[in-house]
Amino acid sequence: MRKIFCILILIFSGRNPDSFAQTESSNGIVINWNLLQNQLGENSFHEASFVIKNQSKEPLEAGWAIYFNTIFLGLRPEVNSEIFEIKHLAGDFFVLQGNPTSPKIPEGDSLLISYKSTTPHLKNSHAPQSLILNSNSDQIIPIVKYEVDQMSWKDFMAYSNGSEIFIPSPENLYKQNQELNLFPSEKLPPFLPSPKQWIYHAAPIKVSNAGLAVVGDKAFASASAFLIKRIKEGYNPQIDRKETPVQIRIATNEKIPSEGYHLEIRGKRVLILASDEKGAFYGVQSFLALLPPGFWDNQTSSIELVQIEIDDFPSYPYRGLFLDVARNFQPKEQILKLLDIMAFYKLNKFHFNLANDEGWRLEIPGLPELTEFGSKRGFSIDEKEAIWPFYGSGASVFNSPGTGYYSVEDYQEILSYARERFIEVIPEFGVPAHSRAAILAMERRHEKFSLAGNLEAANEYRLVDPDDQSVYLSAQNFKDNTICVCQESTYSFYAHLVKEVKKMYVQTGIELKTWHTGGDEVPHGVWAQSPVCTDFIRANKNVTHDQLGDYFRSRVGEILEFEGIQLAGWEEIGQTYKNGKAIPNPEFSEKNWTLYAWNAVAGWGNEDMAYQLANAGYPVVICSSSNLYFDLAYDWDPDEPGHTWSGVSDLYQAWKIVPEKLFLSQDKTMEGGEWDWKVQESSFTKLTESGKKNIKGVQGQLWTETVKSPEMLEYYLFPKMLGLVERAWNADPAWSKEVTTALKLEARMSEWNIFSNVVGQIEIPRLESIFGGVVLRLPAPGIQVKDSFIHANVQNPGLIIRYSTEGDEPTINSPIYSKPIPYQKGISFRVFSPKGQGGMTRVLD
């Protein structure tokens, strides 16, 4: 596999090797990125090259530089030349330039530059992206024609030789799916999340011209109005007044648990009982979930009602979804659509990350710089006009996923929309780290007022000590993303922020209950060389440098407490360190701060931190990255986009989390090593009775470094999010209560078989239609050759497998696979949804 390159920098005069792209970019500069070597596992690395071709009619003069983005490159790649260097600027932003000056590239010539990184190349989407050429005359030229060397899953299998990770080859997928069977619909739960109890009665009834009549108790007026609105959107019969309509009665029953409901459909009578508004609303959602997918497509004159009886209630009060819009922005309309889907699946907390290093996304009256500067990403050498274009958002600030914000009116519309669906919107403005966008915006404010001679205004909300010489690097590779916790202007800024955001809630008639402060990933070394902090520590003898974080959290807590708001944050805000190891911090355990426990990566240690914190008295939300970080790639296929830092995570991985027995949530370590349940159980912290009460629920997370559009957002979420939906409503699965490992595995497969059938037969068809339909990620087919016949299967029975014998990609018109077919080399297979969305193609050779 090793390739030897004797000449590392070449000028190809007038040559166009076959591997080079032939189509010119708008300025005649064409660039190829080629993967030369790649090694996973121990001593991992990759080697690659840029080939820069000047196909224009004039030379590219000396002194040019090429800027690019990639999260997946080591910070000090070794360029195999003394003439060039690749320099890390900030975050995922790098520049390839001459050392000291890039040479001239005559017209028609090509330049090859190779480098070596200490990181492996894991995904095709991990290659450098969004290349920007800055000429020696400071002309900014986005590279339009740029091609990336593609890995196949076979290439990846060779690169990962000796690794324990699961390679999603057709044969491996077939083995993984071979215990799954297609179930009859009457053997399945009626929808997700699965109700606690249900029973089917007589055959379904058809409602045509009789119509539906909604009658609700006064206490449930909002649920009744919501149901009427939804019914009118999909059902439009020619009413026959002579027929008795089907009556939908929404009534009170005080014996039903909070948020629970009883739903009964028999004959021409629908009964929804609940003890509170939320329960009535979820009963309505369950009634809607029983309607066929066609109801959501267009207005139909008849609907079919399943005769069924359901008793249901949630296991957890907190059922959350986190969305980051700071890394890449999502329009308001997509947020509203997401809230609709969350409510339909009975999620009730929307954790909304509105600010981070790479962008500020909410208008704050009195601080216009936050959106005038902090909401924009684009290219300039000195970052004066906008934040650098992190995550490949492009040179221009316009039509960019890196640019955008919500006005006060937008945010209030989101709040109202969420309230109607019984969803609490929890804003997050991360501090003290992850604050680069705010820091730079407030520096622009400082500069503006300083030039005007108003030093008091200039310093009022400044977030950094300008003389701080501390050296640090954040988890996302920023060197300047942490605010100064030792100066009062920081707290003036935060108090102003809290007041203005609270005002948005109050004006909408909504209580701002919870405020998420972030608090995670504070880099080592911050504030160490800050004169302001040195003076502060000298003046406050009871505070050491190591205690500055706790001091800051106390101050922020006081600001929120004064406004009547409960503080929340990632698990780090409830931690301290002893002998270099994170442990619960007793100083804040009585504050009732809600901690979001995310770092439970199998094999990293402290996988039971959520339980340690809960036992120490902190309310805890389970957010485990290995199962519930939806920005992780679905699998190790090199064409599957997403992160891999916490492994990979598909629908099955999300579904099999066991919130109160987290050691059962993994089968292997992240690297594919042994993860013995019995051994882990013996070392895991046991939840005490009070600790169990402190587990408030679970939450899925979608960070958006690699998510650049609403379509990508939906692809990352669906159907993976359905695993979260099931666990948030039903907590620990039944299989986790079996006594032996063998019984657990047998019961888990049985339960997974049912769940995967519900997804394939019921939820995916509905997701294609509901709320305008969503973009779905469909699994690749499993394929196996046995006795000269080709066998195929799929992760979600009920989906359609199509094949082509012509050597091309199967389409919606290709034959449907229904039984083994005679072996023929080159047959391709692909999974489709009922409406024709397709997954990845697999070719059998």
HEC letters along 483-497: CCCCCHHHHHHHHHH
First to last CA, the chain: 21
If you search the block for the tokens 């060397």, which residue do you land on? 149
How many CA atoms are closer than 13 Å to the CA of 719, on its beta-carbon side? 28
- Burial pattern 105-142, b for ≥16 Cβ within 10 A else e, equals beebbbbbbbbebebbbbbbbbbbbbbbbbbeeeeebb
How many CA atoms are closer than 13 Å to the CA of 730, on its beta-carbon side? 22
Neighbours of 622 (CB within 10 A): 30
- Torsions phi, psi of 370, nearest 5? -60, -35
Say if CB 71 and CB 705 are below 8 A apart. Answer: yes
Cβ within 8 Å of residue 219, ≥6 positions away:
252, 277, 280
- Torsions phi, psi of 583, nearest 5? -140, 160
- Burial pattern 55-86, b for ≥16 Cβ within 10 A else e, equals bbeeebeebbbbbbbbbbbeeebebbeeebbb
Q: Which two tokens stand for residue 569?
A: 């944050």
Report d(CA 355, CA 148) in Å as an integer. Answer: 32
- Burial pattern 631-646, b for ≥16 Cβ within 10 A else e, equals bbbbbbbbbbbbbbeb
CA distances from 429 to 419, 436, 476, 621, 830 (A): 21, 12, 17, 18, 43
Report d(CA 753, CA 735) in Å as an integer. Answer: 12
3-state secondary structure of 68: strand
Name which of 349, 387, 394 is nearest 697 in CA terms: 349
- Parallel, antiparallel or unpaired: strands 695-702 and 318-324: parallel
Dihedral sign for Cα atoms in the order 129, 133, 138, 140: negative
For the chain, percent helix, then strand, then coil, each to nearest 5?
30, 25, 45
Neighbours of 606 (CB within 10 A): 17
- Give, to the nearest 10 degrees, the angle between helix 277-289 and helix 221-234: 20
Residue 763: alpha-carbon gap to chain centroid: 20
Say if CB 23 and CB 147 are below 8 A apart. Answer: no
Report d(CA 789, CA 192) in Å as an integer. Answer: 36
Name which of 357, 330, 354, 531 is nearest 425 in CA terms: 354
Instruction: Please state the length of the chain.
Output: 845
Give the active site residue among 78, 277, 304, 521.
521
Q: Which two tokens stand for residue 729?
A: 């409503």
Report d(CA 94, CA 705) in Å as an integer. Answer: 16
- Burial pattern 5-26, b for ≥16 Cβ within 10 A else e, equals eeeebeeeeeeeeeebbeeebe
DSSP symbols for 557-596 = HHHHHHTT-EEEEEGGGGEEEETTEEEE-GGGTTTT-EEE
- Cα pseudo-dihedral 684, 688, 691, 696, rounded to 10: 80
- Whether 42 is a known active-site residue: answer no
Report d(CA 200, CA 77) in Å as an integer. Answer: 62
- Cα pseudo-dihedral 240, 247, 725, 330, rounded to 10: 50
Catalytic residues: 521
